[in-house]
Chain A
Amino acid sequence: MPRTNLIFSLICALLIASLAFVIGVVLSFKFVSAPSISIKGWRISPLVGTIAADPYTRATIAKSGLLALTRKEAIYLSADSETETGAKLSENCDYLVEGIELPARWWSITLYAEDDYLAQNDDGHPSFDATASKGAANYRIIISPKKPVSGAWISSKNGGNFRA
Chain B
Amino acid sequence: MALAPLTFRRATAIAVVVLLVLALLPAGWCVYARPVGAILDDAVSPVVYPLRVMGLHLRQTVSSPESSEADMALIDARLREQDNIIANQIGRIQELEDELHELRGQKQRLGGDSYNLARANVIGQSTDPVSTTLKLDKGSRDGLAVGQPVLYRASVVGRIIDVQSRVSTFELITRPGRVISAVITPRDVKGDWSALDRAPCQFRATRRERLVYDEADGSLPIHVKDFARLQDKDWPASVQHWIIGEVIDVKTSVDAPLRQRVVIEPLVRLRHLSAVSIVMPKQEADEPHAGGTP
A, B assembled together? no
Q: Which residues of B contact A (CB under 8 A)?
A: none
Q: Which residues of A contact B (CB under 8 A)?
A: none
